[in-house]
Amino acid sequence: MVSIIVPCYKQAHFLDVSLASVLDQTYQNWECIIVNDGSPDDTARVAQKWCKKDVRFKYVFKENGGLSSARNSGIKTATGTYILPLDADDLLHEDYLTKLVPILDSNESIGIVSCYTAIFINNISNVIDELKPKGNNVINLLYQNQLVATSLYRKSLWTEVGGYDEAMKNGFEDWEFWISTTKLGSSYAIIPEFLFFYRKAKKSMLVNTIKNHFEDNKEYIIKKHKELYIKDFDNFVSVMFYNIRTHRASEIRLKNNKFLKFSKIFLKPIAILRNSLK
């Protein structure tokens, strides 16, 4: 049994398409738990419509508490051996479970399995970018999150680490979760096929996180798992100073571009006057 957990907050307008991709799975042994995280929109009506359509859909309501809290609430009621988080605006390829479940079934040392991701706008035929994650262990996750939130994993891992960190209300909770689980010894595997479709929106939690909370969230992760970064100290220092140099170079380019633009605007009237005098 696979338990698919779909938290929903202000995304009822996407929920039908997302749940349709669940219903279309060629792998049939699943349940889908829709978690209404105190959403003020039409989530309850849409969710209950799907519960009537197929008994494998289940509905949970809770007061708003954020994404980590919503996922944890859904997983607490889950009966599956494997867990698959799915955001309410994203989609699964129909063979997602058929191709990923056997990886966990056949190898106990693998705790998480993921795939390539196609990033789209409006519909999945309009793909604008691709994600091809690498690696297979916690070291590969320290400086860049290689695993999208919608990756299949053993429920026992969630139990062992105590679930998603509910203190992380501004994103990267999935990244922290993958570090927490893999540092216990589990590895992850990647299926080199595009089986997951991520919807890119102008306004989203990820956009807000990168714009406003990136440094704070990364600092939180490093401090929480400092023993990993201390063990990898030389590489950690190299990565940090590389980021500092890159940021400084970017600032210099920005200042130069602003100065150049200002110079062109300031000198334009002089050029016009000179041409008229000629």
Q: Is the pLDDT of residue 8 over 90?
A: yes
Q: What is the pLDDT of residues 206-256, one digit of tens each?
A: 566 667 778 999 999 999 999 999 999 999 999 988 888 887 777 777 777
Return the pLDDT at 50: 97
Return the pLDDT at 110: 98
> What angle do helix axes 173-182 and 214-224 make, rounded to 10 degrees?
20
Q: What is the pLDDT of residues 60-106, one digit of tens each?
A: 999 999 999 999 999 999 999 999 999 999 999 999 999 999 999 99
Longest Cα–Cα distance in the chain? 84
Return the pLDDT at 247: 74
Return the pLDDT at 107: 96
| φ, ψ for residue 138, nearest 5 deg | -60, -30
Return the pLDDT at 209: 63
Share of the chain above pLDDT 90, in %: 80
Q: Is the pLDDT of residue 167 over 60?
A: yes
Judged by phi (left if over 0) then psi (alpha if -120 to 50, else beta), residue 220 lies in: alpha
Return the pLDDT at 201: 79
Residue with tokens 């150049």: 260
148 is written with which tokens?
């999208």
Residue 45 near residue 39, CB atoms below 8 Å = no
Closest CA to 10 of 69, 68, 87: 87
What domains are defined for the chain?
A: 2-202 (3.90.550.10)
Higher pLDDT, 127 or 265: 127
Higher pLDDT, 272 or 235: 235
**DSSP calls for the chain:** -EEEEEEESS-HHHHHHHHHHHHT-S---EEEEEEEES-SSSHHHHHHHHHHH-TTEEEEEE----HHHHHHHHHHT---SEEEE--TT-EE-TTHHHHHHHHHHH-TTEEEEEEEEEEESSSTTSEEEEE----SSGGGGSSS--S-S--EEEHHHHHHHTSS-TT--SS-HHHHHHHHHHTTT-EEEEEEEEEEEEEP-SS-HHHHIIIIIHHHHHHHHHHHTHHHHHHTHHHHHHHHHHHHHHHHHHHHHHHHHHHHHHHHHHHHHHHHHHHHH-
Closest CA to 188 of 269, 103, 81: 103
Neighbouring-strand partners of residue 115: 191
Q: Is the pLDDT of residue 258 over 70?
A: no
* Range 133-138 average pLDDT: 96
Judging by beta carbons within 10 Å of its beta carbon (0-12, 13-18, 19+), is residue 249 exposed, middle or buried?
Answer: exposed
Q: Is the pLDDT of residue 277 over 80?
A: no
Q: What is the pTM of this model?
A: 0.86
